[in-house]
Structure 1
């Protein structure tokens, strides 16, 4: 199996991640967080060990942090009077080079919508970052 050589001991890092949503690669992104979970529970019967396991609700979560100019560009593309929360559902694609492989891995966060729109600025800030929570349906892990 062919492997790419390590450069300075690294195979991938933040600089090798590409985030694409709303039909473009986003360069003004400083953070993306996503996870999913499923309720799993042991069910007990006779004795002190579980006799089977139940599965419940699936839930996915995501958020991203963008520079203010990215958020303002999204807002400027909306019809007058519309908010970030009015942006129709979109997918977020995150691609990177997986450790030990020469293949690109892509995770897709499906059916995203913005839940929040806020600004936090303080004296001495040299940049304005906007943290946005998303509601999502599910995550495709490659």
Structure 2
């Protein structure tokens, strides 16, 4: 049995319907997208010859974005009394399938949002707001 088989739910991968999102202690129902990633600077170390001798590692960074409906953003700002741009929050992303007890939780630590552009166009049925963020770390529980 492959190690990844331990995290399959009845032979299936986690699905969009399995995701639960909590931002700064507030459960978000009207989210449409979530993305986050760790990155690390890496460069070749060249010395004698044409081929690199090693790969050197530098700083790590954590970035991502959330996309909310307008009503969720308004609810967060009113409940905190602050602009979304002034908040520092932990973002908890939990993959919780209905038919399994195999739950995967990831915590994006110390996230701060960098933009909150509001826009609508003719024919739109609702407003989506993309919220890019920078974070201090990522922990898998």
RMSD: 2.3
**TM score, norm. by length of structure 1:** 0.82
Moved more, 64-73 or 104-113: 104-113
Distance 1:104 1:4 in 2: 10
Q: Aligned pair in 2 of structure 1 residues 97, 75: CA closer, same or farther (>3 Å)?
A: closer
Query: Who is 1:5 aligned against?
Result: 10
Query: Who is 1:42 aligned against?
Result: 44
In the alignment, structure 2 segments of 5+ residues that lack a partner are none
**TM score, norm. by length of structure 2:** 0.82
Query: Who is 1:117 aligned against?
Result: 116
Query: Who is 2:86 aligned against?
Result: 86
Alpha-carbon shift at residue 63 of structure 1 (Å): 0.7
Deviation digits for residues 63-102 of structure 1 (CA, Å, limit 9, x no counterpart): 10001110011111233xx422122x1111111169xx96
Distance 1:118 1:18 in 2: 24
Please list, as runs of the form range in 1=range in 2, the aligned pairs for 1:12-91 lying within 5 A after superposition: 12-79=14-81, 82-87=82-87, 89-91=88-90
